[in-house]
């Protein structure tokens, strides 16, 4: 059964965007969900369907906002051992391995984190992100490892989504990049939009796109005649755009090691340590890891923070770099 929210615009809300107007009246709903419902023709102004979230409302406008019943989830369970760091009745924190996608999509409907959650406990997941994304509040790329949050009910999902929208969630990544950043510590602030050359990639936009802010800090620099110049960095996200760190590092000319999409051509060094070169060439993922994740618990309000160490294959590269850097 659909839930219909009926609202009337008063003087103080005149000329407000309709998505912001609904958000103001229904704070428990995330702005992303409101926007998607509007795009799917679930909002009427004075009995006329409106599909534009940015449309301005006027005094006296009658708003009917329909929240449809979530579709039943019918996904194939995937027998995959999840690395669960924390769990309670409202959420799960998982340490995701590289090589597994977050949710089903074209070409892979079965072997994803969502399918693994179906196998783990399919009755305790939020269902407001669509039938292919139960529990999914945010995402990290297939070939990125590290910490993610899963919502076990709709209240937690909305609350966590709002925290992401307000950029109040702590997200710290570690990455190994080519070269050295200049300055070594700083902030990258750009627009990010879909690439005009490849629709599967993102790019820094000049006049269009969404604001993206990455704070970075250089942790170690590896540089001598036996190794290519590489830097271990920490990136703290103030926003969470698609491929944000990967795009920002590419924009700076310091692509992430192993990134096949935003790649830098590997230049062979004459005297390179052979075991190190073998590790670099065999790396089947980008050297990017979601290291720290912190947020306020949706029910208690208590701040929780979790950390995850680098996976063994990434740590082995660092060990070899440190040994040859002596």
Specify the long-range contacts of residues 270-279, CB closer than 8 Å, at least 24 apart: 271/225, 271/226, 272/226, 272/227, 272/228, 273/226, 273/227, 273/320, 273/324, 275/320, 276/226, 276/227, 276/317, 276/320, 276/321, 276/324, 279/313, 279/316, 279/317, 279/320
Q: Parallel, antiparallel, or unpaired for β 185-194 and 202-205?
A: antiparallel
User: In Å, what is the CA distance from 132 to each residue of 74, 104, 117, 189, 318?
Assistant: 9, 6, 12, 32, 37
Q: Edge to edge, what strands does the sheet with 43-45 contain?
A: 3-8, 62-67, 43-45, 48-49
- As a dihedral over the C-alpha atoms of residue 185, residue 191, residue 197, residue 202, rounded to 10 degrees, the angle is 70
What number of CA atoms fall less than 13 Å from residue 130's CA on the CB side? 11
User: In Å, what is the CA distance from 315 to each residue of 139, 147, 186, 234, 288?
Assistant: 23, 17, 25, 15, 12
Residues 6+ apart with CB under 8 A from 291: 146, 147, 172, 173, 174, 234, 307, 308, 310
141 is catalytic: yes
Which H or E run contains 113? helix 113-121
Catalytic residue among 13, 19, 61, 141: 141
Residues 6+ apart with CB under 8 A from 98: 142, 143, 144, 145, 285, 311
Q: Give backbone dihedrals phi and psi of 144, rounded to 5 degrees, phi first.
A: -110, 145
- Which residues are designated catalytic? 141
């Amino acid at each position: 059964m659909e839930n219909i929210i009926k609202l009337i615009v008063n003087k103080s809300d005149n000329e407000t965007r309709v998505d912001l107007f609904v958000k103001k009246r229904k704070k428990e709903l995330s702005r992303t969900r409101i926007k998607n419902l509007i795009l799917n023709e679930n909002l009427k102004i004075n009995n006329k369907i409106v599909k534009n979230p940015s449309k301005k409302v006027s005094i006296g406008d009658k708003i009917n906002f329909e929240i449809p019943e979530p579709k039943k989830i019918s996904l194939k369970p995937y027998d995959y051992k999840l690395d669960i760091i924390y769990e309670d009745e409202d959420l799960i924190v998982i340490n995701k391995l590289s090589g597994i996608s977050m949710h089903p999509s074209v070409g892979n409907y079965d072997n994803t984190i969502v399918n693994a959650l179906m196998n783990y406990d399919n009755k305790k997941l939020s269902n407001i992100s669509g039938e292919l994304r139960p529990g999914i509040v945010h995402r990290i790329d297939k070939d990125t490892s590290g910490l993610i949050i899963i919502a076990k009910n709709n209240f937690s999902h909305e609350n966590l989504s709002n925290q992401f929208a307000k950029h109040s969630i702590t997200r710290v990544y570690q990455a190994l990049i080519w070269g050295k950043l200049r300055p070594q510590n700083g902030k990258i602030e750009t627009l990010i939009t879909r690439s005009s050359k490849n629709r599967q990639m993102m790019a820094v936009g000049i006049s269009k796109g969404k604001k993206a802010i990455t704070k970075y800090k250089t942790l170690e620099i590896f540089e001598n005649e036996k190794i290519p110049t590489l830097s271990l960095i920490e990136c703290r996200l103030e926003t969470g755009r698609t491929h944000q760190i990967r795009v920002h590092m590419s924009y700076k000319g310091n692509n992430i090691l192993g990134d096949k999409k935003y790649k830098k051509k590997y230049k062979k060094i004459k005297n390179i340590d052979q075991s190190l070169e073998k590790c670099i060439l065999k790396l089947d993922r980008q050297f990017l890891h979601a290291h720290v994740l912190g947020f306020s618990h949706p029910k208690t309000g208590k701040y929780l923070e979790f950390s995850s160490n680098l996976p063994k294959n990434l740590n082995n590269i660092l060990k070899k770099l440190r040994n040859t850097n002596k």
